[in-house]
A and B are shown apart, each in its own frame.
Chain A
Amino acid sequence: MSDIIIIDYGMGNLRSVQKKFERINVIAEVTEDLVKIKNAKKLVLPGVGHFANGVKKLKGSGIWDVLNKSVIIDKTPIIGICLGMQLMAKKSEEGDAEGFGWFDANVIRFRVTDTIKFKIPQMGWNNVSISKENPFFKGIDPESQFYFVHSYHWVCNNIEDELTSTQYDYRFTSAVFRENILGVQFHPEKSHEQGEMLLRNFVNF
């Protein structure tokens, strides 16, 4: 059995996530099978694309309810990446849709003032500054940069949920963590060794 289940709900590039786990010798399976998702030891919710579309696909496939139960009742550890993190919030401006609501947070479109310097989407490498103690950034150089691609970002209503923040014209929440739930706006699967380290720390969590 695989150690890690990568949830396939038809949004984005799952192969690169799986490959990154392979590189650290962790077997990760990409699946839409509800039983496998339900029995997973650890879950990955990746995703690139439109928020409302993601919600629709999760609900239509039945993954939504299974995931809610696994994460909230069974407390299965989960990492949400990019759209996967955004879906953990209550609501997004993108398609005006409601997410899982595991965190008291909203997702809004970047409101930059300097539109020449700060283009949307933010596409590229940026730093993260750690807001609270956690096991996920263990062994990662604080100067390390991670790969971001997004037009929308998190707004935490409960600042204790914030794990890291990042500066792009202004500061926004770039990772969150509470109990068994980890969300990262950047792509660890695209972020060289520092990304590998973060995923390894999640596997060991």
Chain B
Amino acid sequence: MFRPRIIPTLLLRNLGLVKSVGFKDYKYIGDPINAVKIFNDLKADELVFLDILASKEKRVISLDFVLKVGDEANMPFSVGGGLRTIRDIRSVLRAGAEKVVINTYAAEDPAFIRKAAEEFGSSTITVCIDVKKKIFGKQQVYINGGSKATSLDPVPFAKLMEEMGAGELIINSIDRDGSMEGYDIELIRTVSDSVTIPVVALGGAGKLNDLNEAVKNGHASAVAAGSLFVFHGPRRAVLINYPQPEELKNIFK
């Protein structure tokens, strides 16, 4: 039976692993390569690495870093951070990444997604959509590591990305980021029901049942989380963790 993927999402800041709350208040977690080794042992389904400063600093995620992850990772992984040319994508894939994650540039130049999908195949191109509620309650797509509003509505933007050839969407709630209070189920469901490509829920997972909720009620095809897999206990001590194989089987039952 098909089992939804459970994907630890790891944020990079100056090549250190960090975790944010609401896209700010970064806490240092540790060395990313060490984290990959632990997730290997824990048999994680897949990993996502996002260099959250790359777009803001107008550079691309370090290729040397991607190579190191590629040498270590025993599972598929995708990387994002400042990717905006076909060449950028090719070098990241050659370094061992399975997929690329595009965020800022997807909103700046949607036609680039089409070009990338035609070159590398849809299943290689993931678009990450960061969503935040405006003061008057309407949700908007944000770019540049959550620092810039676009005035785009998440649902039509998600549909546009599908039309352009994206193979997968990560829907990330900035408001829920690091809250560990559960996903924005309504957001996930509205987007998921409006596209035919897989939607990955991100932002807010705090317990294993949140993952089930995102699949059952949010219609997500996969679930991603940061805090849940790097923190332990109410005081958020850093401890990399992942459901045991037996737990995995039962989460979505």
Contacts and interface: CB of A to CB of B under 8 A. Distances in A.
Interface of A: 12-13, 15-16, 19, 23, 48-50, 115-127, 145, 147, 149-151, 167-168, 187, 190, 192
Given A121-B167, A122-B2, A192 B123 contact: no
B49 to A, nearest CB: 15
B3 A151 contact: no
Given A116-B193, A124-B5, A124-B45, A15 B123 contact: no
B218 to A, nearest CB: 11
A23 B74 CA distance: 10
Interface in B76-106: 76, 93-98
Interface string B1-15: 111110000000000
A120 B1 contact: no
A187 B76 contact: yes
B2 A124 contact: yes
B141 interface: no
14 contacts: A13-B94, A15-B70, A16-B70, A16-B96, A19-B70, A23-B74, A49-B120, A50-B121, A119-B198, A124-B45, A125-B3, A147-B76, A149-B98, A167-B2
B55 interface: no
B219 interface: yes
A34 to B, nearest CB: 22
Contact of A126 (B1, B124, B222): B1
Q: Is the interface of A mostly helix, strand, loop or mixed?
A: mixed
Contact of A124 (B96, B120, B221): B221
- Which residue, B45, B74, B94, B199, has most C-beta atoms of chain A within 10 A? B74
Contacts of A118: 2
A19 B43 contact: no
Contact of A151 (B1, B122, B219): B122
Given A15-B70, A120-B197, A192-B74, A126 B122 contact: no
Given A13-B94, A122-B2, 20 more contacts: A13-B93, A48-B124, A50-B121, A115-B196, A116-B219, A118-B2, A119-B196, A119-B198, A121-B167, A123-B5, A126-B2, A126-B3, A147-B75, A147-B76, A149-B98, A151-B122, A151-B123, A151-B167, A192-B74, A192-B75
- Which residue, A115, A149, A187, A192, has most C-beta atoms of chain B within 10 A? A149
Given A19-B70, A49-B120, A192 B5 contact: no
Contacts of A192: 43, 74-75
Interface in B198-235: 198-199, 219, 221-222
A150 B118 CA distance: 15
A48 B121 contact: yes
Interface in B103-125: 118, 120-124
B201 to A, nearest CB: 13
A69 B139 CA distance: 58
Given A116-B219, A190-B76, A124 B4 contact: yes
Given A120-B197, A126-B3, A167-B2, A15 B76 contact: no
Nearest to A49: B121
B184 interface: no
Nearest to B67: A15
B172 interface: no
A129 B43 CA distance: 22
Contacts of A190: 75-76, 98
Nearest to B169: A119
B200 to A, nearest CB: 9
A11 to B, nearest CB: 8
Contacts of B123: 48, 121, 123, 149-151
A142 B98 CA distance: 26
Contacts of A120: 196-197
B168 interface: yes
A36 to B, nearest CB: 20
Contacts of A168: 2
A122 B95 CA distance: 24
Contacts of B181: none
